[in-house]
Copies of this chain bind each other. A is one copy, B any other.
């Protein structure tokens, strides 16, 4: 599935890589370029060059640029939720800690990695590729929504959080994440230093505020 960014033996010369690695490397290259320049403004030749192969080779693995795009989304997004769900189900500790842990984990495993670009990408190209947007809906949005909902429900069940309309409360946690990704990929390169956002400070501040609003009054 998704090729983790590092972990290629660095001594392996580019030309000698195994054939099996090709699709992953192409996808990795495409992800970076699509995120950076958008789908239309990225030339397949650039993707191929960045992956160290020729233009023709790319078409050996992906029938078209659009298919490459779909593969990028599918592959990068691919099922990390089950694993997370387990992790969170087994979490010991109060729900405030759980929320903090979840957000930090998200940042470390998604937000700060190249995979984070996928969200920006999907948002930017959603109307051009409705199929992809739907896929993202099903594979990322819905599971993510569920995961967070379960976390909040846990807090309510344990008497830590007050009752709240969960359908919308989950967006209190999703919105900062989405915002952070969009900011990181779209505005950071153009923002003056005074407008730069430090991700961890941002996350902690948002989570503190949100939690403080969610906690039962008498705490």
A residues adjacent to B (C-beta < 8 A): 35-41, 120, 122-128, 130, 133-134, 136-137, 141-142, 145, 164-165, 168-169, 171-172, 174-176, 178-180, 182-183, 185-187, 189-192, 195, 197, 201-202, 205-206, 208-214
Query: What's the least CB distance linking A95 to chain B, in Å?
Result: 15
Task: Tell me the complex Cα distance, A25–B123, Å.
Answer: 27
A213 to B: closest C-beta gap in Å? 3
Chain B residue with minimal CB distance to A164? B209
Contact A205 B165 (CB under 8 A): yes
**Pairs A-B, 10 closest by C-beta atoms:** A40-B40, A213-B213, A124-B124, A175-B179, A126-B186, A133-B190, A168-B205, A212-B213, A123-B186, A209-B213
Q: State in angstroms the CA–CA spacing of A172 and B89 once bound together.
A: 28
Quote the shortest CB–CB distance from A149 to chain B (angstroms).
12
A63 to chain B, nearest CB (A): 16
Q: Is the CB of A171 within 8 A of B202?
A: yes
Complex Cα distance, B139 from A190, in Å, reads: 13
Interface contact A171-B197, CB-CB below 8 Å: yes
Q: Are B128 and A189 in contact (CB under 8 A)?
A: no
Point out the residues of chain B lying under 8 angstroms from A185, CB to CB: 123, 126-127
Tell whether, in the assembled complex, residue B122 and residue A123 are in contact, meaning their CB atoms are under 8 Å apart.
no
On whether A189 and B137 interact (CB within 8 A), knowing A175-B179, A201-B168, the answer reads no
